[in-house]
Amino acid sequence: MGKILIVDDTLFMRTLIKNILFTGGHSIAGEAGDGEEAIAKYQELKPDLVTMDIVMPKMNGIEALKGIKAIDPAAKIIMCTAVGQEQMVKLAIKSGAKGYIVKPFQAPKVLEEVKNVLAS
């Protein structure tokens, strides 16, 4: 089980992911509401995994992903995407994301993806 940093600009989505992860036995390292905060929290908390929303204010998830990868090339990041953002997901994977989950979140899929990425 891993310590996870949850990054999403909406509190509702962060809470939703947090509840799913808790049921899977994971611990929450922290939360961030935008990409800039995500990079700062990553450096501070050194989580095992990050769930990263793609569309956020200030700095989007792709830019934050690149920022975190620049600090830690081994960072494990799962992108959170809405249906229809396939191009963004492809870009994120090319930029170093280890996987993705689609909103609306389905607990079994989220936990399976987290487990697979942590094991990779």
The sign of the torsion formed by the CA atoms of 94, 96, 99, 101 equals negative
Query: In sequence order, what are the residues at sequence separation of 6 or more whose Cβ sits closer than 8 angstroms to the Cβ of residue 95?
Result: 62, 65, 66, 69
- pLDDT for residue 78: 98
* Average pLDDT estimate for 65-82: 96
Per-residue model confidence as pLDDT tens digits over 9-34: 999 999 999 999 999 999 999 999 99
Per-residue model confidence as pLDDT tens digits over 38-63: 999 999 999 999 999 999 999 999 99
Give the residue ranges of DSSP H helices in the chain.
11-23, 35-45, 61-71, 86-94, 107-119
Separation between Cα atoms, residue 111 and residue 120, nearest integer Å: 14
pTM: 0.95
